[in-house]
């Protein structure tokens, strides 16, 4: 019997983190992504023991596949500015510990900007931050480097930069990659048809390696190819289009990874439709 693909969205964990399981189940998801804290603030509160217990219990009782957390937006792991570097690394370390406590499989991180210091500097900073965070971890959560959309001074829009970060980490078994389709397209990697998808994914395999790909962020793009615009669109309604999304989903190995949408849909009815569409494109 073929294993059902893991398809889900970024889900609200408002009220209590364990409620994400109920909300995801309500829309027919088989995986999901959450924030464990407010993503737009530096300050955060410890997760109550009873919430950790409830989250782990629901995970044990559910049929969900792998579960994903996303880092807050404020940290800049590529920065060499001392105060930013310090608080960004602290935040990453604490987020890994939160994921370890909850039993979350993957922590997706934005790589940030080198702020004009050069990609090599940003790459080294990110690799050190990952090693430092994992050295303080006694769990199994893996950090996933998310490819960037190609904004000025960003690190990680090029596969070579992702490869270099992976190469420089000493905790390589716990550092992988999350590929965001919108970011790929915005950075100039074509995904609009089967031939384009094959070219992009074969290049990724050649430079980084498909074995390091752990999660797919499946988002269509409001901006055109190479626009460097990080603007997500609903599946099949953007510049990548339904044919491109279908080709990516059917590329060998993609359907075996958690497929997480971060689309503009906000209510459960449209989330349900989005999941149904992706499942139809996977057939």
Digit-coded pLDDT (tens) for 61-71? 998 989 999 99
Band the pLDDT of 265: cuts 50, 70, 90.
low
CATH of segment(s) 7-282:
3.20.20.150
Q: What is the pTM of this model?
A: 0.97
- Indicate the SS3 state at residue 197: helix
In angstroms, rounded to a whole number, what is the distance separating the alpha carbons of residues 279 and 283?
Answer: 7
Give strand pairing partners of 232: 221
Find out whether 223 and 186 touch, Cβ atoms under 8 Å: yes
Per DSSP, helices labelled H in 151-267 are 159-168, 181-186, 194-207, 241-249
Spatial CB neighbours of 70, under 8 Å, sequence gap ≥ 6 = 10, 33, 34, 35, 39, 107, 108
Residue 228's region, left for phi above 0, alpha for psi from -120 to 50, else beta, is left
> Whose CA is closest to 33, among 162, 146, 168?
146
Residue 1: per-residue pLDDT: 31
On the question of pLDDT at 266 being above 70, the answer is no
């Amino acid at each position: 019997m073929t294993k059902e693909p893991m398809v889900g969205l970024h889900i609200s964990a408002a009220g209590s983190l364990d409620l994400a399981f109920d909300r995801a189940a309500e829309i027919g998801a088989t995986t999901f992504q959450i924030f464990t804290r407010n993503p737009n603030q530096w300050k955060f509160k410890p997760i109550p023991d009873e919430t950790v217990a409830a989250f782990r219990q629901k995970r044990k009782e559910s049929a969900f596949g792998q579960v994903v957390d996303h880092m807050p937006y404020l940290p800049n792991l590529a920065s060499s500015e001392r105060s930013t570097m310090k608080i960004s690394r602290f935040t990453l370390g604490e987020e890994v510990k939160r994921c370890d406590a909850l039993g979350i499989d993957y922590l997706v991180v934005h790589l940030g900007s080198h702020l004009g210091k050069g990609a090599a500097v940003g790459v080294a900073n990110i690799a050190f931050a990952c090693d430092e965070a994992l050295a303080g971890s006694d769990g199994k959560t893996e950090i996933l480097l998310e490819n960037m959309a190609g904004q000025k001074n960003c690190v990680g829009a090029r596969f070579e930069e992702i490869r270099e970060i992976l190469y420089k980490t000493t905790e390589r078994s716990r550092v992988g990659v999350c590929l965001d389709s919108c970011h790929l397209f915005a950075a100039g990697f074509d995904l609009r048809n089967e031939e384009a998808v094959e070219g992009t994914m074969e290049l990724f395999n050649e430079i980084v390696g498909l074995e390091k790909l752990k999660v797919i962020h499946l988002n269509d793009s409001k901006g055109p190819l190479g626009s460097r615009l990080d603007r997500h669109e609903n599946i099949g309604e953007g510049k990548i289009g339904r044919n491109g999304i279908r080709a990516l989903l059917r590329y060998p190995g993609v359907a075996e990874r958690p497929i997480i949408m971060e689309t503009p849909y906000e209510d459960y009815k449209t989330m349900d439709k989005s999941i149904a569409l992706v499942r139809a494109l996977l057939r």
